[in-house]
Chains A and B, each alone.
Chain A
Amino acid sequence: PCRAQPKKKKKVDVKKEQAQKDRMKKKIRKLEKAAPEMIPIEDFITPLKYSDSNRVRSLPPLSFEESERRVLLMKKWCLFKQKQDEAEKKAIQSLVEAQQEALKELRLESEELYQAAIRRDEGLFPFERDGPNYTPPIPGYDPPEGKCVDITKVYTQ
């Protein structure tokens, strides 16, 4: 009398659990088959609050002289940059030529030194250097205390 009922309960539970597990596995397989979602690039999505019309700047339109001045300045800049680029290329060319001449003379001297000279220098790269600032560092300067909290969103695929 008491024995039969508990047994039935267990069997039905086991079957139900099995059916649940199979359903979950099917769902997981479906999700995995679907193509992975692209990670959104936050820089390319403008937040909606910046497309309000009251944000647009109201400035007087450019005068004719101003636009002329701008065009002429652009042309002068173009020429300036071209000359700068040519000078740089010439300097690099002269550098390379000087080095080639030095290596040629070295080869005439001794083959062994030449081979040692053209070997790759492993310790040279990666080469790191702090770039120049606008003002030199103040000796004995105590920068104010502060903490930076990084709030960039990290997406996982």
Chain B
Amino acid sequence: TAAAPRPWRLFGAMCLLRLPRITQPLEKEEEEMAALMGQIELEKSHYSDHEIRKLEEEEQLRRRKESTYDDDEAPGKTVIMAQDLEDKWEQKLLRFKAAPRITDADKNNNRTSLNRKLDSNLMLLVKQKIGNQELWLLPQVEWQPGETLRSTAERAMATFLGDHIQAKILGNAPYGIYKYKFPRAIRTEDNVGAKVFFFKAFLQSSDLSQTELKEDYLWVTKDELGDYLKSEYLKKVNRFLLD
């Protein structure tokens, strides 16, 4: 006997995360502790070869100043002192310019760019038409019989970002579910509501210039999700997001 058709429509949604590229700034306690650990390590350590060389050269300089006697080395020979080496290394470090941790996209608050907020996770939000409303949601697509929910989520990702997207999907099982009933006008015996199953994936490729996003899209952090998502949806999504 064939199974009775279920009244719930199934959707697969993909939560695509861009993982952080730089480390988060240290908290106050962490900074204090790091300083203390460095100090204790210094106290417990012995002198290194470089430090011994520096100390001996300082001794030599001092002796030369106090009593003017010629050492074995004639003044013609130029000896590289440890202090000179340190200065040279310092200069070399100052000449190197690292890329800034706060990028231009941060300053402009350009939420469509991936270069923003490099120290936290960014999630993809897409504007979709549900019923007669345009809502900001995680990209979702209706499940079709014959495919697993994971492939539904992959299809959702491909619909919005193209086929060439490289993402590592974390497992076959869904991470969360959002269940809602249709408004009474559309509700029927066979079509009570919808269940949206969320899957998580990590974005592998950092370059998205090849993808053509047709609809409006945003990359937001977990704190900014509240600006765009409805409260019930947001509650369910926040349960499976770590930050």
Contacts and interface: CB of A to CB of B under 8 A. Distances in A.
A134 B101 CA distance: 8
If over half of A's interface residues share one DSSP class (helix, strand or loop), that class is named, otherwise mixed; here it is helix
Interface string A12-47: 000000000000000000000000000000000000
Given A56-B46, A57-B47, A138-B99, A124 B240 contact: no
Given A116-B148, A134-B22, A95 B175 contact: yes
Given A97-B239, A102-B197, A109-B8, A54 B177 contact: no
Interface in B9-45: 10, 19-23, 27, 29-30, 32-33, 36, 42-43, 45
Given A57-B45, A132-B23, A136-B22, A95 B239 contact: yes
Most chain B C-beta atoms within 10 Å of own C-beta, residue among A110, A121, A136: A136
Interface of A: 50, 54-57, 59, 70, 73, 76-77, 80, 91-92, 94-95, 97-99, 101-103, 105-106, 109-110, 113, 116-121, 124, 127, 129, 132-139
Contact of A135 (B20, B22, B30, B148): B22
Contacts of B174: 99, 102-103, 106, 117
A133 B173 contact: no
Nearest to B96: A138
A136 B172 contact: no
A138 B148 contact: no
B148 A113 contact: yes
A59 B19 contact: no
Interface of B: 3, 6, 8, 10, 19-23, 27, 29-30, 32-33, 36, 42-43, 45-47, 52, 98-101, 103, 118-119, 148-150, 168-177, 179, 195, 197-198, 202, 236, 239-240, 242
Contacts of A76: 29, 32
Most chain B C-beta atoms within 10 Å of own C-beta, residue among A103, A118, A135: A135
Given A57-B43, A105-B195, A117 B176 contact: no
Given A55-B52, A98-B239, A80 B29 contact: yes
Nearest to A138: B99
Contacts of A92: 242
Contacts of A91: 242
A106 B240 contact: no
Contacts of A118: 172-173
Nearest to A52: B46
18 contacts: A73-B33, A76-B29, A80-B27, A80-B29, A94-B239, A95-B175, A95-B239, A98-B240, A101-B177, A102-B197, A102-B198, A103-B173, A117-B174, A119-B172, A132-B23, A135-B100, A135-B101, A138-B99
Contact of A73 (B22, B23, B32): B32
Contacts of A127: 168
B10 A109 contact: yes
A57 to B, nearest CB: 6
A138 B46 contact: no
A117 B149 contact: yes
Contacts of B236: 98
A89 B236 CA distance: 19
A124 B198 contact: no
A92 B10 CA distance: 26
Contact of A117 (B3, B27, B173, B202): B173
B69 to A, nearest CB: 24
A66 to B, nearest CB: 9
Given A59-B43, A102-B174, A105-B179, A132 B29 contact: no
B193 to A, nearest CB: 12
